[in-house]
């Protein structure tokens, strides 16, 4: 019943023609869809169909509009609408699913789509439109694309429906796990079950091309070749792959001729660069990089079988290009996302048509060149090559490495080893020698819960996933959220974590490492790290007889990242921001990894210096007012906290003020005059405080006790004096009593002390024949009317 409701909702909401043919406005159609969904599914309290909500809220909180954009291929509009839906109705999973599919179609990093999907299947998420099988297949597709093959098989193990998409993904996952026989068995069955689907033939050709043929693989290849005409118009690139498996030369020649007829050389299929997820999963359509590879391979095979002459093949091979986003990136910036085709970049990103070569085709092409002049031209082309070299090691159609060239040498290399669209390594080079390496490690691989939308039976063996659906029906339950926050359904799926920015003196000798907010400068030749190596393609041998330079590229070495301890021990100093001053940087010098001293600069101005003993900060001198004099000194305890602070207020090389911090939270402030303490203020964590000073005129010892900031007792040379709070001035207290003209005198006292800056100030006030002596301590003023003759 629920499936029927979802089917009707999808038809009403996503097909504009049905709405308009009934004379119904789109908004009414959407509301009608919500009503039908409620009636069939029995859901009364789902937030996506909240009953008291006004019509505009129903329209905004129901995923129908975004689903219609997705159905019509309006990817950016679907993504924007879905993101708005996520913000207004975060409990509806359909918005997250639409956002994931749209971002995938826009060829944004797959890690982003995986993040959307992880949130979509979290606990308590509600589905309004989409069927769980569609969700399962898309999630499995993402897992296969990002080399999470075992997880993809787990997702597909509980599929309720048999489909070509599921079988195709299973076969891809089996190849990815190295289970060739299982993959061949799946393809063999699929060629009969899904006889019109070209994806299985193409997958077989791509994965078996470099393997030694077995009797079974020969049988499958013969079966595919015998029915090639069924698929050739759906996916002409299949003809190119077939030529490699065809033992008859005349038939291989015919395949290539047919391909060039369907894909003329002067129209290399640029329209395929706009292909999307929905299109690329159907037989006959290829992703942009797959189509580009087929074009390059057709040129090589065309030359091999005589379909193309050397001149024509040379022109086509050396001008094969693709629209790529190649922004001018500073090597000191953070690593950006993996460069992709034009449809995935923003309008502000500059696009260039870049000449593309494939590493595995270069050898074969150069070997086939027989004419000496053509070989010489090709050698000059490589010596001056300005373009990009692609590598797809697992032959799944997704480029895992790109190396950009300038003047025939690598200038920049990008490596996306897990194919999630986030670079693991980006290397910058000068004339082929690495100068800087950025690392960024993807962490989106979160474990799937057994209580998810797609529960995995505990007793299913790895080889038994295909038949699992026959005995296991997945209930509609939710994946529990892993953030532990009640009321939230957002799963924690961090896309990336900050990596290193490594620069070299002379590769592989590290000069500088940036990590988090720190920049380490290493001692010469103290640390070597070689994440990539230069690999010659050995084309000089293929171009024998002409002058050619050694054409080489970059490949990963899998050398582990240096640890923080290795970097610290090898460093001369490190720099990081200093919060003490605006735009300040502190440089800490090291000896075998332990700090010796540090200096803080703001631009060219020297502002602070910290001293260390056995790697522990003990003292810091700083110039707080930027006058060139270091007036402030801080002392640190064993835990690195400030235990005392002294200030040379008068800048006469004697400290006039000091603060001391006790282990139990007490704080003592002291002011000095003529070499002795003139004022002392002690605060306790209980809220009690005491201020003591020598009166600046009489020299008598004064003590004031405070409780929670309120003065409670005043002693002068040990004699207790009563205190009375002034009714008009909260900070004024009278000793013993308030005089008759207290209002007038009190106002004069407050105004007089307002501009004073000293911690303790004493003044005499004469008014109405009486004399008042007032003393300010901190923010409190104590006033006393003197007897005649005692002033």
pLDDT tens figures, 641-691? 899 998 888 787 888 888 999 888 899 988 887 778 888 889 999 989 988
Given this model, what pLDDT does residue 4 score? 42
Do both 657 and 680 map to the same domain?
no
Burial (CB < 10 A; 0-12, 13-18, 19+), residue 556, is: middle
Do both 606 and 740 map to the same domain?
no
| H or E element, residue 712 | strand 710-716
Do both 13 and 143 map to the same domain?
yes
Structure tokens, 136: 């399962």
Do both 635 and 681 map to the same domain?
no
Given this model, what pLDDT does residue 51 score? 39
pLDDT tens digit sequence for 694-753: 876 677 888 988 888 888 888 888 888 888 888 888 889 888 888 878 888 888 888 888
Q: What is the DSSP letter of 414?
A: E
Question: How confident is the model over 382-398, as a mean pLDDT?
Answer: 92
Do both 652 and 730 map to the same domain?
no
Global confidence as pTM: 0.73
Residue from 212, 257, 266 nearest 239 by CA: 257
Final residue of a domain: which of 482, 502, 526?
A: 482
pLDDT > 70? residue 461: no
Structure tokens, 341: 């085709």
- Is residue 631 assigned to a domain? yes
Final residue of a domain: which of 482, 502, 518?
A: 482
- Is residue 366 assigned to a domain? no
Do both 633 and 779 map to the same domain?
no
As a whole number of angstroms, the distance between CA 36 and CA 128 comes to: 11
pLDDT > 70? residue 2: no
Q: Do β-strands 688-694 and 780-786 pair in parallel, antiparallel, or remain unpaired? A: unpaired
Question: How confident is the model over 134-148, as a mean pLDDT?
Answer: 95
- Is residue 177 assigned to a domain? no
Range of the domain at 694: 676-786
- Is residue 701 assigned to a domain? yes
pLDDT > 50? residue 38: no
pLDDT tens digit sequence for 267-285: 444 433 333 333 333 333 3
- Is residue 129 assigned to a domain? yes
pLDDT tens digit sequence for 53-81: 444 454 556 799 999 999 999 999 999 99
Q: How many CB atoms lie within 10 A of CB 359?
A: 17
Tell which wins on pLDDT, 531 or 650.
Answer: 531
Final residue of a domain: which of 464, 482, 500?
A: 482
- Is residue 22 assigned to a domain? yes
Strand partners, 707: 688, 710
As a whole number of angstroms, the distance between CA 749 and CA 731 comes to: 11
3 state SS of 326: coil
- Is residue 58 assigned to a domain? yes
Do both 122 and 7 map to the same domain?
yes
As a whole number of angstroms, the distance between CA 244 and CA 37 comes to: 52
Do both 641 and 592 map to the same domain?
yes
Query: Which of 212-221, 468-477, 757-766 has maximum average pLDDT?
Result: 212-221
Do both 630 and 727 map to the same domain?
no
Mean pLDDT, rounded, of the chain:
79
Do both 120 and 28 map to the same domain?
yes
Per the structure, the count of domains in the chain is 3
Measured between its terminal Cα atoms, the distance across the chain in Å is: 100
Given this model, what pLDDT does residue 691 score? 86
Q: Do β-strands 667-673 and 657-661 pair in parallel, antiparallel, or remain unpaired? A: antiparallel
Do both 767 and 739 map to the same domain?
yes
- Is residue 132 assigned to a domain? yes
Tell which wins on pLDDT, 532 or 469.
Answer: 532
Give the CATH number for residue 470: 1.25.40.10
Residue from 613, 571, 566 nearest 588 by CA: 571
Do both 156 and 24 map to the same domain?
yes
């Amino acid at each position: 019943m629920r499936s029927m409701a979802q089917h009707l909702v999808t038809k009403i909401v996503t097909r504009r023609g049905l709405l308009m043919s009934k004379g119904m406005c789109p908004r009414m159609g959407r509301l009608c869809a919500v009503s039908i969904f409620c009636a069939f599914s029995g859901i009364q309290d789902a937030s996506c169909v909240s009953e008291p909500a006004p019509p505009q809220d129903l329209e905004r909180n129901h995923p129908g509009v975004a689903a219609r954009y997705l159905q019509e291929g309006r990817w950016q509009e679907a993504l924007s609408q879905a993101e708005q839906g996520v913000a207004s109705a975060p409990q509806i999973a359909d918005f997250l699913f639409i956002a994931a599919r749209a971002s995938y179609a826009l060829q944004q990093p797959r890690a982003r789509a995986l993040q959307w999907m992880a949130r979509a299947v979290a606990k308590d998420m509600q589905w309004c439109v989409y069927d769980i099988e569609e969700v399962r297949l898309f999630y499995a597709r993402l897992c296969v694309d990002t080399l999470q093959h075992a997880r993809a098989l787990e997702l597909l193990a509980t599929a309720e429906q048999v489909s070509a998409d599921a079988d195709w993904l299973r076969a891809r996952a089996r190849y990815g796990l190295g289970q060739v026989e299982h993959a061949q068995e799946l393809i063999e069955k699929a060629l009969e079950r899904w006889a019109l689907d070209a994806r299985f033939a193409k997958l077989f050709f791509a994965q078996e091309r470099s393997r030694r043929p077995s009797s079974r693989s020969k049988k499958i290849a013969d079966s595919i070749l015998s029915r090639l005409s069924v698929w050739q118009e759906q996916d002409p690139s299949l003809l190119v792959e077939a030529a490699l498996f065809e033992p008859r030369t005349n038939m291989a020649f015919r395949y290539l001729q047919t391909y060039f007829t369907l894909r003329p050389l002067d129209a290399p299929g640029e329209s395929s660069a706009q292909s999307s997820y929905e299109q690329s999963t159907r037989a006959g359509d290829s992703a942009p990089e797959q189509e580009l590879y087929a074009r390059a391979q057709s040129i090589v095979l065309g030359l091999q079988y005589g379909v193309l002459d050397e001149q024509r093949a040379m022109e086509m091979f050396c001008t094969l290009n693709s629209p790529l986003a190649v922004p001018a990136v500073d090597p000191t910036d953070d690593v950006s996302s993996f460069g992709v085709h034009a449809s995935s970049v923003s309008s502000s990103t500059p696009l260039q048509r870049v000449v593309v070569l494939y590493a595995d085709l270069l050898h074969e092409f150069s070997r086939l060149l027989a004419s000496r002049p053509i070989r010489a031209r090709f050698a000059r082309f490589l010596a001056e090559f300005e373009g990009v070299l692609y590598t797809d090691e697992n032959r799944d159609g997704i480029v895992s490495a790109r190396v950009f060239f300038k003047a025939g040498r690598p200038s920049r290399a990008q490596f996306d080893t897990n194919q999630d669209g986030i670079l693991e390594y980006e290397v910058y080079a000068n004339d082929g020698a690495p100068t800087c390496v950025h690392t960024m490690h993807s962490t989106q691989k979160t474990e799937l819960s057994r209580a998810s939308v797609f529960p995995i039976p505990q007793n299913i063996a790895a080889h038994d996933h295909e038949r699992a659906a026959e005995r296991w029906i997945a209930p509609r339950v939710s994946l529990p959220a892993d953030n532990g926050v009640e009321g939230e359904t957002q799963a924690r799926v961090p896309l990336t974590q900050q990596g290193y920015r490594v620069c070299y003196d002379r590769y592989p000798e590290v000069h500088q490492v940036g990590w988090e907010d720190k920049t380490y400068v290493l001692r010469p030749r103290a640390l070597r790290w070689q994440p990539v190596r230069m690999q010659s393609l050995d084309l000089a041998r293929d171009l024998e007889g002409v002058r050619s330079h050694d054409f080489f590229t970059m490949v990963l070495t899998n050398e582990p990242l240096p640890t923080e301890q290795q970097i610290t021990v090898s460093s001369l100093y490190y720099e990081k921001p200093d919060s003490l001053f605006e735009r300040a940087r502190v440089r800490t010098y090291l000896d075998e990894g332990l700090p010796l001293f540090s200096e803080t600069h703001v631009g060219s101005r020297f502002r602070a210096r910290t001293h260390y003993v056995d790697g522990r900060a003990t003292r810091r001198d700083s110039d707080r007012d930027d006058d060139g004099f270091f007036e402030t000194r801080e002392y640190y305890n064993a835990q690195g906290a400030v235990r005392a602070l002294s200030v040379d207020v008068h800048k006469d090389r004697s400290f006039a003020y000091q603060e001391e911090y006790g282990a139990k939270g007490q704080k003592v402030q002291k002011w000095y005059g003529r070499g002795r303490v003139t004022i002392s203020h002690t605060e306790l964590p209980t809220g009690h405080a005491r201020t003591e000073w020598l009166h600046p005129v009489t020299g008598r010892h004064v003590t004031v006790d405070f409780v929670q900031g309120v003065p409670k007792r005043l002693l002068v040379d040990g004699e207790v004096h009563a205190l009375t709070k002034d009714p008009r001035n909260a900070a004024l207290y009278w000793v013993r009593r308030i005089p008759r003209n207290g209002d007038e005198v009190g106002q004069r006292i407050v105004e007089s002390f307002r501009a004073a800056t000293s911690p303790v100030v004493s003044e005499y006030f004469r008014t109405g024949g009486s004399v008042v002596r007032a003393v300010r301590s901190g923010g409190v003023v104590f006033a006393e009317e003197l007897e005649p003759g005692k002033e």
